Amino acid sequence: MLAAWTVIGSALSLLSAVRPRLLVVTSISSDTFDSEALRFRLRVLSDLKFSELFSSLNMVNILSIRRTPSREYFNSLIEVLYHETYLIRAERVNTHTLFSMIYVAVFFDAVLRQFTVLLLQTFDFIRCSREERLVSLSF
């Protein structure tokens, strides 16, 4: 999937600070996580396309020494997700790139239109936001 995204290269128009943040969640034994994480980071960060697509790379391992996912590891994942969300929101505030109420109103109208016609179909925000300019399914 990462290789497909590097070919798409769709984040180039975004400011580098507000490009998507890549969070890789693994479930490998903790005794090999450090070396595998380092190997993965070196491989990904050595690709020049990475910085064009993503603003950061973070890795979380949810498998403990006991070889079964524990609640504390999922709690750490939750904390990382909150932290990543906070960082990107702060960056978007600083660069004035948050969604405005205009976008929310447009989405709301689109949801209502779909709801009146296709009651049980899930609303696709990405497809709606790209109606005039469709993107690849791997996006």
pLDDT in tens, 38-81: 888 888 888 777 777 888 888 888 775 555 666 776 777 888 89
Nearest 5°: phi and psi at 71? Answer: -60, -40
SS (H, E, C) 13-63: HCCHHHCCEEEEEECCCHHHHHHHHHHHHHHHHCCHHHHHHCCEEEEEECE
Q: Where are the domains of the chain?
A: 2-98, 99-139
83 pLDDT band, cuts 50/70/90, is very high
Instruction: List helix spans (H) across 46-118.
Output: 48-53, 71-95, 101-117
19 pLDDT band, cuts 50/70/90, is confident
d(CA 3, CA 138): 10
Query: What pLDDT does residue 123 have?
Result: 80
134 pLDDT band, cuts 50/70/90, is low
